[in-house]
Amino acid sequence: MRILIVGNGGREHALLWKLRQDAPDADFFATMPNGGMAPLCEAVAIAPSDVEALAGWAAAHRIDLTVVGPEAPLAAGIVDRFDAKGLAVFGPSKAAARIESSKAYAKDLLRNANIPTAAHKTFTNQAGAIEWVRSEGAPIVVKASGLAAGKGAVVCMTEEEAVAAIEEMMGDLRFGEAGREVVIEEFMEGEELSVFAICDGVDFVLLQASQDHKRVGEGEAGPNTGGMGAYAPVSIADEALLAEAVSEVIAPTVAAMANDGAPFKGLLYAGLMNTMDGLKVVEYNCRFGDPETQVVLPLMESSLLDLMVAVAEGDSLAGRRVTNRRGSAVTTVLASGGYPGPYVKGKEIYVPEDLESEDVLVFHAGTERRDGKLVTSGGRVLAVTAVASTFASAASASRSGAAAIDFEGAFFRADIGWRERARLEGS
């Protein structure tokens, strides 16, 4: 089997790692693979966003399955393009990817299907948006409607912050076209959960629930990032809460999208808030989450490839089950000094040779091999995932793994999973 992975971040390294476990004899290809993926696959010198070139390349190279990691090619219609050429591809169509690429679309869908989420209003007019903030007061959340690399949501504790956020998005176009339309929503209080469902358009199976750490600093200080670490499973996501996630959120969403003529085939990522009034949707993504994938897949025992092939070939997932390893996984992201603001690239990275083992995995994100050396090439550079029988030992192994890796300016959060630790210590 010949498998192409589109994308080259930590998520795609984890996908490549898992699919290689599922199909050790398959041939793997990836678009511009990072320094960790490169030794595991053949490089394809086409940017993940170049949908047309990728479709041509996959057809010419007899690719049996293409797995799309990032949202941008999905939003640009890569799946529709591959479908038109009769190429098997795992991911949602352009219409279904709107669940992530247009927050306004996602919010309307949720409201029409009566799925719990923060009350909201959509604006294309700056003065109207500001007036709404003045009448609602703070705390309040301002979001660019389009794709903004995980940085387009601003949680505002004061009206002034909200007005400034609107001016930056709509006036200064800080997120480009993504900010021409903004969604302003009610502030929700609670603990967040990431729930991944592999969907065939009608049926779905859940992967292990996980929790991301979006803020750059320990104790959730500082600005939002793409994610500084994650762990799975999350003890609050017990059977009852997952049943609620399925019946109140995932099932009605999948049904509403099918009714809407945009059936969701691929990985549906529900970002949920566990509030006093039950689970509410914070956001949807149309692809695997990063860094959650780096903990969810190392725990997954059953085949991911089988599920992806079934979805890509139009087979039903009804009756399928996912099995997971017992124990916990924790991943700690190492980032470049300055991230999520400006940072310097090209720093040589030192990874101790004996760091990796069966239960300690180093997933690369912003790395590349240059003149035989491994150097940084992005804001989030690597993630160290540890799997262990208990949360505490996984967290400690992930943390010491991160501490053992070195490059100039490297930093990481030493408190990944702090909520879980507090719960376990308190019980």
Interacting residues with ligand GLY (CB under 6 A): 150, 212, 227, 285, 289-290, 292
Name the residue number minimizing CB distance to ligand AMP: 153
Q: Which option in ligand AMP, ligand GLY, none does residue 227 bind, with CB closer than 5 to 8 A by kind?
A: ligand GLY
* Closer CB to ligand AMP, 155 or 355, in the complex: 155
Q: Least distance to ligand GLY from the beta carbon of 181, Å?
A: 19
Near ligand AMP by CB under 6 A: residue from 12, 80, 185, 368: 185
Q: In the Cβ-directed half-sphere of 402, how many Cα atoms lie within 13 Å?
A: 28
Q: Least distance to ligand AMP from the beta carbon of 282, Å?
A: 5
As beta bridge partners, residue 411 has 335
Closest CA to 136 of 126, 121, 123: 121
According to the binding rule CB under 6 A, does residue 283 interact with ligand AMP? yes
* Closer CB to ligand GLY, 274 or 285, in the complex: 285
Near ligand AMP by CB under 6 A: residue from 22, 159, 168, 192: 192
Q: Least distance to ligand GLY from the beta carbon of 206, Å?
A: 17
* Closer CB to ligand AMP, 58 or 282, in the complex: 282
Q: Least distance to ligand GLY from the beta carbon of 2, Å?
A: 27
Q: Which option in ligand AMP, ligand GLY, none does residue 200 bind, with CB closer than 5 to 8 A by kind?
A: none
Q: Which option in ligand AMP, ligand GLY, none does residue 289 bind, with CB closer than 5 to 8 A by kind?
A: ligand GLY
Q: Which option in ligand GLY, ligand AMP, none does residue 80 bind, with CB closer than 5 to 8 A by kind?
A: none
Contacts with 387 (C-beta within 8 Å, 6 or more apart), sequence order: 298, 299, 325, 327, 328, 329, 359, 360, 361, 394
Q: Least distance to ligand AMP from the beta carbon of 117, Å?
A: 8
* Closer CB to ligand GLY, 14 or 23, in the complex: 14
Near ligand AMP by CB under 6 A: residue from 214, 265, 364, 413: 214
As beta bridge partners, residue 248 has none
Q: Which option in ligand AMP, ligand GLY, none does residue 290 bind, with CB closer than 5 to 8 A by kind?
A: ligand GLY
> What span, in angstroms and rounded, lies between the C-alpha atoms of 137 and 200?
41
Q: Least distance to ligand AMP from the beta carbon of 224, Å?
A: 6
Q: Which option in ligand AMP, ligand GLY, none does residue 169 bind, with CB closer than 5 to 8 A by kind?
A: none
Which tokens sit at 420?
Answer: 């879980």
> What span, in angstroms and rounded, lies between the C-alpha atoms of 183 and 124?
9
Q: Least distance to ligand AMP from the beta carbon of 143, Å?
A: 6
According to the binding rule CB under 6 A, does residue 217 interact with ligand AMP? no
Q: Which option in ligand GLY, ligand AMP, none does residue 237 bind, with CB closer than 5 to 8 A by kind?
A: none
Q: Least distance to ligand GLY from the beta carbon of 290, Å?
A: 5
- Chain centre to alpha carbon of residue 403: 24
Q: Least distance to ligand GLY from the beta carbon of 270, Å?
A: 11
CA Rg value for the chain? 21
Q: Which option in ligand AMP, ligand GLY, none does residue 224 bind, with CB closer than 5 to 8 A by kind?
A: ligand AMP
* Closer CB to ligand GLY, 73 or 130, in the complex: 73
According to the binding rule CB under 6 A, does residue 224 interact with ligand AMP? yes
How many positions of this chain bind ligand AMP (CB under 6 A)?
17
According to the binding rule CB under 6 A, does residue 153 interact with ligand AMP? yes
Q: Which option in ligand AMP, ligand GLY, none does residue 220 bind, with CB closer than 5 to 8 A by kind?
A: none
* Closer CB to ligand GLY, 55 or 283, in the complex: 283
Q: Which amino acid is at 241?
A: L
Q: Which residues of this chain interact with ligand AMP, rule CB under 6 A?
A: 118, 141, 143, 150, 152-153, 155, 185-188, 192, 214, 224, 271, 282-283
